[in-house]
Amino acid sequence: MHCGIDYGTSNSSLGIVRAGKVIQAQLEAGSVYLPSAIYRAFPEHELNEDITSRSIRQQLGNAEGLLYGTQAIDSYIRHPGDGLFMKSPKVFLGSDLNKDQMDFFEVVIARMMTHILEQARTFYGHDLTQAVIGRPIRYHGIRGEQGDKQALAIMEHAAMEAGLQEIVFMYEPLAAALDYEQGLNQDEVLLVVDVGGGTTDCSVVRVGPSYREKRERSADLLAYSGNRVGGVDLDINLGWHNIMPLFGRGTDELHNKAFDAISVNSIPSQQAFYSRFEMPIHGKASLERERLYTVWLDKLSSHLVRSAELAKIALSDADSHILNLDYVEDDLQTHVTREDFRAAIERSTEKIRQVIEDARQASETAIDKIYLTGGSAVSPVIQQVIRNVVGDAVPFVSGNMHGSVACGLSVFASRHFAG
Domain boundaries, the chain: 2-185+399-416
Instruction: Give Cα 87 to chain centroid, integer Å.
Output: 9
Average pLDDT of the residues in 265-269: 90
Does residue 283 surpass a pLDDT of 90? no
For 336-388, write each residue's pLDDT tens digit.
Answer: 999 999 999 999 999 999 999 999 999 989 999 999 988 888 899 999 999 99
Question: Of 197 and 277, which is predicted with more confidence?
Answer: 277
User: E strands within 182-260?
Assistant: 188-195, 200-207, 221-227
Question: In this structure, what is the dihedral angle of CA atoms 148, 151, 153, 154, given to the nearest 10 degrees?
Answer: 180
Look over the chain and give the mean of its residue pLDDT values, rounded to a whole number: 90
Name the nearest CA neighbour of 365 among 156, 262, 223. 223
CB-based contact 356:202 (threshold 8 Å): yes
Rounded CA separation 51/46 (Å): 7
Beta bridge partners of 95: none
When pLDDT is averaged across residues 61-66 and rounded to a whole number, the result is 64
Phi-psi label, residue 144: left if phi above 0, alpha if psi -120 to 50, beta otherwise: left
Report which of residues 400 and 177 the model is more confident about. 177
Listed in sequence order, the residues at least 6 apart from 383 whose beta carbon sits closer than 8 Å to its beta carbon are 372, 377, 396
Residue 54 in this model has a pLDDT that exceeds 60: no
Task: Determine the average pLDDT of the residues in 224-251.
Answer: 94
Contacts of residues 248-257 at CB distance under 8 Å and 24 or more positions apart, as own/partner, are 248/286, 248/288, 248/289, 248/291, 248/292, 251/288, 253/289, 254/288, 254/289, 254/292, 257/292
Instruction: Tell whether the model's pLDDT for residue 48 goes beyond 60.
Output: no
pLDDT at 403: 86
CATH number of this structure's domain 2-185+399-416: 3.30.420.40
Name the residue among 348, 101, 391, 328 with its Cα closest to residue 235.
348
| Residue 155: pLDDT band with limits 50, 70, 90 | very high
Q: Predicted confidence band at 217 (pLDDT cuts at 50, 70, 90)? A: confident
What predicted TM-score, i.e. pTM, was given to this entire model? 0.84
Quote the Cα angle for 233-79-40, to 5°.
Answer: 80
pLDDT band at residue 43, thresholds of 50, 70 and 90? low
Q: How many CB atoms lie within 10 A of CB 365?
A: 13
Average pLDDT over residues 303-320: 95
Alpha-carbon distance 335 to 261, whole Å?
21
Q: How confident is the model at residue 61 (pLDDT cuts 50, 70, 90)?
A: low
Residue 45 has pLDDT above 60, yes or no: no
Give 225's strand partners.
Answer: 202
DSSP summary character for residue 28: B
> What does the CA dihedral 224, 89, 170, 123 come to, rounded to 10 degrees?
-140
Average pLDDT over residues 377-403: 90
Selected residue with higher pLDDT from 398 and 230: 230
% of the chain at pLDDT higher than 70: 94
Q: What percentage of the chain has pLDDT greater than the value 90? A: 69
Residue 49's pLDDT band (cuts 50, 70, 90): low
* Span between the terminal Cα atoms of the chain, in Å: 12
pLDDT band at 306 (very low <50, low <70, confident <90, very high): very high
pLDDT of residue 329: 96
pLDDT reported for residue 82: 77
Say if residue 311's pLDDT is above 80. Answer: yes
| Residue 99: pLDDT band with limits 50, 70, 90 | confident
> CB of 394 within 8 A of CB of 370?
yes
- Residue in 278, 279, 252, 247 with CA at minimum distance from that of residue 263: 247
Length, in residues, of the chain: 419
Residue 68 or 103, more confident:
68
**What is the C-alpha to C-alpha distance for residues 295 and 298, in angstroms, rounded to an integer?**
5
Provide the pLDDT confidence category of residue 42 given band limits of 50, 70 and 90.
Answer: confident
